């Protein structure tokens, strides 16, 4: 009895202390803090044992004189700069940091500090960091801090639910009184009971026909339906029992951390997120909110604190965005080619619109002619029409047939062209010359020329190579026959081959085609060729890729140009040798010096890096501020106090 009273008093005391603690948290508005992790800009890479330390540095100043720089820090008493061997890591209290974008990505690192006031063995904290980028809110993976007692309660809930699941019978025979069923069968129906040890398969129908009762009926008679219904109710209550026992499920996926705290004290976690950059991205803000709950309910909404701001510097800002032009040779004359599939009856040259797809093909060519006649840039001069034949019949007759088919096609499309030119003439109406005389606009006459293509063996060879139904042996035999020089003998040899029916039925009809060549010239152009300057759209696509931070695409386009923008793309991907090879050939200016400073810093040539950086700042003072944004330059500024007066 005393033990029970003591436990009740202990529970009451803990409840009171918890309420008191929670009241203080709410009254003070306690929250977690976002901060920047300590960043050590000096001596990031370990020095080689035995190697001399470069505490002084000799560089070339912009005016050509030599400067001797040393690692230094300001004396707190005198205010003077004094030499030192190593600078200690600073404790960051600022709410912003400059970070550099490399490879189209930027690493955002921030620290979440949780005061011990919010930590309790009976509570669970869930923090929700969010990223604010260009008007968008991106939810980052949450962080769970779980008290040891809270986790015990979670596990206890899972255990209770597991016991409930184990109480559910999964086998329908669980409700059958097998012992009573066997006794009944053995005493009253020995003929049925013998089936117990009989391994032969007996269907339910055969069982019923032999003994007048089915196996299902016998089993059903000795089934405890009351227990069966109770089991069914348990199955139906699985969802409710889950909610009852597992009030706070353990989250397994989509989280950054779930740690169980067993000791009190301040909790800190360094969170790193890789952000894919996007065009125009200059800053990103991180905010933090959270929830505090016990095993039963939400106790406290952790208020959102002040945001951390990351200012993002990108090498893409060095790109030259000015238009890039190229010289292009413009030809006065031009050609346009198209192929028309026309089915002709065997040995005939007349066009039959009802054969195959003749009607659709003819309409397509008419549309092409209309487009060319209405073109505002080109004038249609003439049309060359050539018709081909399949190899059946003699070569001479096919040559003549090809010519007649070309003439037939020309006659058909002359009518099409005349209808279109008459229509254009009616639309143009009349014009008045400089003397006030009225003239009727006349449409140009478009001449047609014909060419006999004869038997199209070249196309037949291509069709045979691409055919997937002809065997390798068939194609080899066809190649041998194609070596016969005389066309009629060649076709005769093909007739004796087993694959000839396929050639005749499937491939030969595709040789009866008509080829059109449209000859045009540019309107208003007298010279045959003109050299003109046009915008290099491909190059500008590469520049846009730099702005979009797609540096691999940019290099794929800009590499042949080997200019400043190509160097920017190489530099962003840290392909330093390729970037240096380009930059060293260019006329140095502030931008070139600054990029060379980044390269030299990456290659640990500090003397050259500082020299190029100082020259860049002398030519363009804004690089003094820019230098603090790029880590390769910032480490030099901090190490040698380059801008301290």
φ, ψ of residue 623 in degrees (nearest 5): -70, -15
Say what the pLDDT of residue 409 is. 87
Q: Across all residues in the chain, what is the average pLDDT?
A: 80
**Between the ranges 18-32, 122-136, 321-335, 508-522, where is the mean pLDDT highest?**
122-136
- As a whole number, mean pLDDT of residues 118-144 equals 93
* Calculated CA dihedral for residues 602, 606, 610, 616, nearest 10 degrees: -30
- Adjacent-strand bridge partners of 290: 127, 302
Q: Please report which confidence band the pLDDT of residue 615 belongs to, taking 50, 70 and 90 as the band edges.
A: very high
- As a whole number, mean pLDDT of residues 174-180 equals 65
More confident position, 560 or 645? 560
More confident position, 432 or 379? 379
- As a whole number, mean pLDDT of residues 184-192 equals 56
- As a whole number, mean pLDDT of residues 252-275 equals 84
| Distance in angstroms (rounded) separating the CA atoms of residues 100 and 576 | 17
Evaluate if residue 327 carries a pLDDT over 70. yes
Q: How far is CA 450 from the centre of its chain?
A: 52
For 592-614, write each residue's pLDDT tens digit: 999 999 999 999 999 999 999 99
Task: Determine what percent of the chain is predicted with pLDDT higher than 90.
Answer: 31
- The least confident of 25-34, 325-334, 559-568 is 325-334
- Provide the token pair at 330: 């413009």
Say what the pLDDT of residue 440 is. 53
For 54-104, write each residue's pLDDT tens digit: 455 656 656 665 555 545 454 444 444 444 444 333 334 578 888 888 888
Say what the pLDDT of residue 276 is. 87
Residue count (the chain): 645
- The least confident of 263-272, 397-406, 425-434 is 425-434
Select from 541, 591, 537, 538 the least CA-distant residue to 564: 591
The gap between the terminal CA atoms of the chain, to the nearest Å, is 80
- As a whole number, mean pLDDT of residues 102-130 equals 90
More confident position, 364 or 183? 364
More confident position, 554 or 94? 554
Say what the pLDDT of residue 544 is. 93
- The least confident of 89-93, 246-250, 492-496, 605-609 is 89-93
Structural domains of the chain, with CATH? 97-168+248-314 (2.60.40), 169-245 (no CATH), 327-530 (3.30.1330.60), 536-640 (1.25.40)
Select from 55, 41, 60 the least CA-distant residue to 618: 60
């Amino acid at each position: 009895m005393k033990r029970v009273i003591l436990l009740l008093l202990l529970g009451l005391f803990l409840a009171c202390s918890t309420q008191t603690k929670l009241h203080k948290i709410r009254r003070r508005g306690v929250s977690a803090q976002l901060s920047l992790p300590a960043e050590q800009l000096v001596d990031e890479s370990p020095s080689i044992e035995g190697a001399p330390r470069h505490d002084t540095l000799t560089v070339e100043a912009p005016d050509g004189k030599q400067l001797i720089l040393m690692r230094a820090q300001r004396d707190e008493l005198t205010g003077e700069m004094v030499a030192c061997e190593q600078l200690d890591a600073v404790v960051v209290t600022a709410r912003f940091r400059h970070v550099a974008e490399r490879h189209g990505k930027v690493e955002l690192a921030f620290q979440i500090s949780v005061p011990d006031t919010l930590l309790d063995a009976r509570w669970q904290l869930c923090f929700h960091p969010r990223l604010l980028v260009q008007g968008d809110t991106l939810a980052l993976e949450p962080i769970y801090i779980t008290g040891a007692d809270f986790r015990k309660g979670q596990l206890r809930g899972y255990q209770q639910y597991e016991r409930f699941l184990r109480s559910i019978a999964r086998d329908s025979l669980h409700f059958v009184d097998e012992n009573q069923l066997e006794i009944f069968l053995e005493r009253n129906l020995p003929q049925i009971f013998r089936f117990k040890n009989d391994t032969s398969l007996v269907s339910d129908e055969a069982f019923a026909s032999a003994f007048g009762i089915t196996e299902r009926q016998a089993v059903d008679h000795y089934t405890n339906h009351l227990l069966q219904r109770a089991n069914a109710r348990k199955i139906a209550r699985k969802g409710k029992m889950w909610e009852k026992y597992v009030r706070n499920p353990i989250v397994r996926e989509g989280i950054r951390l779930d740690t169980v705290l067993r000791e009190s004290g301040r909790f800190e976690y360094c969170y790193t997120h890789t952000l894919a950059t996007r065009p125009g991205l200059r800053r990103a803000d991180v905010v933090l909110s959270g929830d505090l709950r016990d095993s039963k309910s939400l106790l406290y909404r952790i208020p959102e604190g002040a945001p951390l701001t990351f200012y993002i510097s990108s090498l893409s800002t060095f790109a030259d965005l000015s238009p890039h032009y190229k010289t292009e040779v413009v030809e006065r004359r031009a050609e346009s080619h198209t192929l028309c599939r026309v089915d002709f009856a065997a040995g005939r040259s007349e066009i039959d619109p009802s054969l195959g797809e003749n009607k659709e093909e003819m309409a397509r060519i008419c549309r092409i002619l209309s487009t060319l006649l209405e073109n505002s840039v080109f004038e249609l001069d003439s049309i060359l029409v050539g018709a081909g034949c399949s190899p059946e019949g003699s070569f001479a007759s096919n040559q003549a047939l090809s010519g007649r088919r070309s003439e037939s096609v020309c006659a058909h499309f002359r009518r099409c062209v005349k209808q279109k030119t008459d229509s254009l003439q009616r639309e143009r109406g009349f014009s008045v010359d400089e003397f006030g005389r009225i003239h009727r606009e006349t449409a140009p006459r478009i001449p047609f020329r014909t060419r006999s293509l004869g038997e199209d063996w070249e196309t037949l060879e291509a069709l045979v190579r691409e055919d997937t139904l002809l065997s390798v042996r068939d194609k080899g035999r066809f190649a041998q026959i194609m070596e016969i020089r005389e066309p009629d003998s060649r076709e005769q040899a093909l007739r004796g081959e087993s694959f000839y029916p396929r050639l005749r039925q499937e491939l030969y009809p595709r040789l009866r085609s008509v080829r059109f060549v449209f000859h045009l010239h540019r309107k208003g152009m007298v010279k045959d060729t003109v050299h003109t300057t046009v915008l290099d759209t491909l190059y500008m696509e590469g520049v846009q890729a730099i702005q979009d931070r797609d540096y691999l695409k940019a290099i794929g386009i800009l590499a042949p140009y080997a200019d400043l923008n190509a160097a920017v793309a190489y530099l962003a991907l840290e392909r330093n040798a390729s970037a240096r090879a380009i930059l060293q050939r260019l006329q140095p200016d502030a931008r070139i010096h600054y990029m060379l400073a980044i390269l030299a810093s990456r290659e640990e040539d500090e003397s050259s890096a500082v020299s190029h950086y100082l020259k860049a700042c002398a030519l363009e003072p804004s690089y003094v501020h820019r230098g603090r944004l790029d880590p390769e330059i910032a480490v030099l500024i901090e190490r040698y106090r380059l801008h301290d007066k």
